[in-house]
Amino acid sequence: MEKKIHNKLVRDNIPNIISNNGEYFSIRTLSDEELEKETNKKMKEELNEVINSKTNEELISELGDLLEVILLKAELHNISFDDIEKSRLKKQEKNGAFNKRIFLISTADKEYVDHNKGCITCINGSCTLPTNEKYDYEDDGKPAGYYCVGYKSVYEKLKK
């Protein structure tokens, strides 16, 4: 003898599946406001399941569930799949995709670089360039980042 409390958004056929399994259920229809809130919760639930998938088969299934919830969210806001795809492609054209596996560590504005006389890796002491690849040093022995290869290859390109 067992009763489970679920209190969550479920797919349309779940009540039939429960009934076909010889169980009983209690359901209600959500208001627009409740559906928005429950869709957000469901999206988090499905994303967590995607992240915790152990096999490709499980991952495929969970990605499908997540996509279903994404499409519901879009529908709630009168957004078509084509709208989403156009936005994705536009952003990909402007910002790129994730194919190059770039991991952004930090950024620095020109004022920071000018104040510290060098690129951020030299300033932070995490520069891995060999000493002989640096063009110059300050009087205190600190690499003069304006002249190092890292500065020339990264920051000079940004100024153009």
Taking the chain (160 residues) in runs of 10, the rounded mean pLDDT of each run is: 94 97 96 98 98 98 98 98 97 96 77 63 62 51 52 53
Number of domains into which the chain is organized? 2
Amino acid at 63: L
User: Has residue 149 been placed in a domain?
Assistant: yes
Q: Judge residue 16's burial from the number of C-beta atoms within 10 Å of its C-beta, 0-12 exposed, 13-18 middle, 19 or more buried.
A: exposed
CB count in 10 Å sphere of residue 67: 13
- CB distance 75 to 83 below 8 Å: no
- CB distance 85 to 70 below 8 Å: no
Reduce the DSSP state of residue 9 to 3 states and report it: coil
User: Has residue 2 been placed in a domain?
Assistant: no
Residue 155, H or E segment: helix 149-159
How many whole angstroms separate alpha carbon 83 and alpha carbon 74? Answer: 9
Q: Give residue 104's pLDDT.
A: 79
Full domain range(s) for residue 137: 110-159
User: Has residue 15 been placed in a domain?
Assistant: no
User: Has residue 8 been placed in a domain?
Assistant: no
User: Has residue 13 been placed in a domain?
Assistant: no
User: Has residue 142 been placed in a domain?
Assistant: yes
118 shares its domain with 150: yes
pTM: 0.71
89 shares its domain with 114: no
User: Has residue 40 been placed in a domain?
Assistant: yes
